Amino acid sequence: MTAAVEVRRLRVRRGSTTVFDGIDVEIAAGAITGLLGPSGCGKTTLIRSIVGVQKIGGGTVTVLGRPASSPALRHRVAYDTQGASVYGDLTVRQNLRYFARLIGADAADIDRVIAQVGLAAQTHQTVASLSGGQENRVSLAVAMLGRPELIVLDEPTVGLDPLLRAELWDVFRGLADAGATLLVSSHVMDEALRCDSLLLLRDGRLIADTTPAKLLADTGAPDPDAAFLALVRRDAHSHGEDAA
């Protein structure tokens, strides 16, 4: 399968802390890749490196055939941060109209993304009046403007109830089915089952590059939480750490 993202020997330090010391990662094109692991394991730093806003100390990050920070990628890669990056005092449509102008997207694209995230009934409501899940969907709609080839979502379902999380994952699947590549970070392990492939991080190390089915089969675990714990213990043992 063709790789949309190739990370080779990536080294990143933040202050006095080494986040990555030579990590290698590939992300398949046209699929949903889950980036999973506990808080502080390096998910956001890897995401920032991929979208070209992280200072790196060494290695290479290639995105859609170009270096991650290339200006040519600005309209081909979308990044939805952990916090909803929209304006609460503007309506859904006003937010999208503003961001569409910033990136040069066609005005007709606004109606497309509103429909795709299921906010047609809220189009004239202010973002501040929406639920948390709806606000997240506005932020996702902004990321979808211009039909980016790679959509990077940093913990887009954090803090949402199971129903809202399921609704967003239906949107993600629709985007992938239409040909987009999605990288979705999460620390909610049951979301692993909704992905096509999985990257599991622990303490700045890639401890698994796998699929949901293979993850469960290789560990013999009944669910993703148990599987991840099994991998953590295996990784800790291999590095001479306390596996408790």
Structure confidence by residue, pLDDT tens digits, 24-58: 999 999 999 999 988 889 999 999 999 999 999 99
* 159 and 94 within one domain: no
How many structural domains comprise the chain? 2
Give the domain range for residue 105: 85-147
In a domain, 99, yes or no: yes
In a domain, 38, yes or no: yes
* 142 and 53 within one domain: no
pLDDT (tens digit, 9 = 90+) per residue, 124-140?
999 999 987 788 889 88
pLDDT, residue 49, reads 96
In a domain, 90, yes or no: yes
Residue finishing a domain among 147, 181, 201: 147
Helix (H, G, I), strand (E, B) or coil at 165: helix
* 124 and 39 within one domain: no
> Which of 83, 99, 59, 70 has its CA nearest to residue 204?
59
* 132 and 19 within one domain: no
Q: Check: CB of residue 192 under 8 Å from CB of residue 36.
A: yes
> Which of 197, 164, 193, 188 has its CA nearest to residue 26?
197
- pTM of the entire predicted model: 0.89
Looking at the chain, the whole-number percentage of residues with pLDDT higher than 70 is 97
Residue finishing a domain among 100, 122, 147: 147
41, two tokens: 């394991």
The Cα–Cα gap between 96 and 90 comes to 10
Close Cβ partners of 191 (under 8 Å, ≥ 6 residues apart): 34, 36, 157, 165, 169, 184
* 89 and 45 within one domain: no
* 232 and 181 within one domain: yes
In a domain, 170, yes or no: yes
Close Cβ partners of 145 (under 8 Å, ≥ 6 residues apart): 78, 96, 99, 100, 103, 105, 109, 110, 113
pLDDT at 196 over 70: yes
* 72 and 13 within one domain: yes
pLDDT, residue 84, reads 67
